[in-house]
Chains A and B, each alone.
Chain A
Amino acid sequence: MTETPTTAQMLSTEGLCKSFGGLRAVHNLNFHVDDGEIVAIIGPNGSGKTTFFNLIMQLYDVTSGSIYLGPERREIVGLPTHRINALGISRTFQTLRLFTNLTVLENVLVGMNRHLSTNYWSALVRPESLRLEEKEAEERALDTLSFFGERLLSMCNEPAHSLSYANRRRLEIARVLASDPKLILLDEPVAGMNPTETREVMSDIERINESGYTVLLIEHDMTLVRGVAGRVVAFDHGQKIAEGSFDHVCSDPEVIEAYLGRQSNHAKKRPRTARKRSRRRSS
């Protein structure tokens, strides 16, 4: 599968770099996600996947390069993080970062904050218009929670810390959906889940995609990547080392080496034939 951007681009980067001191966490990255795609980023730990997400959200300052959003290619480098969300990118976290003391419903409402007037003086007087707005927001939040059936709805007035682990992950996704994004970034959505739960998340991601959202996800679980991703991008040392269909990427020698082959320096010094043999065995 080659790069043929026939559809509009949702997100693209050009020459994106991020260094932490001497460490090049992301290096000269050219990357794109098309509208309506599900793209998975894979790569060993420390290969710059989450850093890439943080760069998209402008949580880190970009060292050099550009990030463009949407078909109009709007440059988003340098914007404040909360504006990125307003422009339509929203994310979940590898380690859950819910507002655990807020209720389930409130967590979703925080995701909708920017759609609402934030005049807090009127909040004390509570005019009719505000009450209406809040009621609408709440209905929309409940609607979003119903994406996961009764699992979250039945808990909507409980604090988020009372949820089970899988439900917390679901709530993170609900919170993202509520902020009405165009592009959703999922950072290891099935980390710590059992196979049954993983299958359920896979169908959730497909449903999200079918509702018109573009999805970019980081995942180590190859079942999920194989199942949902239309395109797979492999990272290593902050660089894109392979791109294409799941099978194409997984048979790429550089990818295999990134995952399996670099543990020993002396292995590199071994004769080529020996290395090839060992590679064949491991794949």
Chain B
Amino acid sequence: MDIWIQQLINALTIGGMYTLVAVGFTIFFGVLRLINFAHGEVFMFAAFVALAVSSICVAVGITNGPVVIILMFLFAMGTCAALGGLLERIAFKPLRGMPPLLLLVTSLAVGIVIREAVKEFYPEGANPQAFFSPYAYNTFQIGGVTLSYTQIGLVAVSVILVFCVYLLVTRTWMGRAMRATSEDRDAALMMGVDVDAVIRNAFFIGSALGAAAGVMNGLFYQSVRFDMGWVMGIKGFTAAVIGGLGNVYGAIFGGYALALFEVLVVALVPNGSQYKDVFVFMILIAILVFRPSGLLGTPQEKVG
């Protein structure tokens, strides 16, 4: 029994990260019909920004754990929101109105640029880097379940952020405009929605959320690499596809569902931890073939 609770909490932790990345995928697709494969690299970039922040903090003598962690989140999310906005402006906006495939290929190229830039220009960027995670070994027991403070913190952060996204999407003008734009961009334009502003905001929000996931990933695994964005990109994309691309609630569901599935594979399949990615990609393929609009999605009628 305890082992299941333990696994469930693991699922919540990584599910939070998947969800945060998936929300980005889904809103980029919603507003721009863009499958943004640079998003995984933004996630990785955030982890390196946070790593740099922690190094600088240590260098100037700020060693108070919570302060450093808060600074890491703030800087990583801020930098990546700006980076997302920049990508939108220089890489995707000039291609407005072009076929979605062109945007997709552009996003791959942008992703390569970010990945290689980190590898080349971050000191020792090609090697795995130890990540500052002061509470990873501070654990406590409830019944037979061992929990680290980091894990509890990460679950809390992701749930809070996901809840903020939910509020943003359901309760605000911007969220309503975003959902309207996702359904029918031209109709939204003609109803007076400033679609350019919606797209810009989507990139700020999506990238900042991906950045939060990047920092969480570093804190959880205590190590970051320049090439960790690719797998996370595919996982986030899979989570978004499970929920139906363009559907924010779907991405939230998809992120946690995917994590739960992964944890179950690890627990139930012999040598499961080695095969979990295989199962994830099988899920991706199966959903793309049989339910391309996702488990929650209503079929996408109009595209473009």
Contact = CB atoms under 8 A, between A and B. Distances in A.
A and B physically associate: yes
A70 B173 CA distance: 29
Contact of B190 (A81, A101, A117, A120): A81
Contacts of A80: 189, 194, 196
B195 interface: yes
A102 B189 contact: no
B190 A59 contact: yes
B interface SS class: helix
B194 to A, nearest CB: 5
Interface in A77-93: 80-82, 84-86, 90-91, 93
A111 B167 CA distance: 20
A114 B179 CA distance: 15
Given A99-B180, A101-B298, A118 B190 contact: no
B184 interface: yes
A123 interface: yes
B164 A120 contact: no
Interface size classification for chain A: 20 to 34
A144 interface: no
Interface residues of B, number: 29
Nearest to B171: A123
Given A101-B298, A102-B179, A123-B171, A113 B191 contact: yes
A199 B197 CA distance: 41
Given A97-B184, A123-B167, A123-B171, A102 B176 contact: yes
Interface in B197-228: 197, 201
B183 A109 contact: no
Interface of A: 57, 59, 80-82, 84-86, 90-91, 93, 97-102, 106, 109-111, 113-114, 116-118, 120, 123-124, 126, 161, 175, 179
Given A93-B187, A97-B187, A118-B194, 7 more contacts: A97-B184, A101-B183, A113-B176, A118-B173, A120-B172, A120-B201, A123-B173
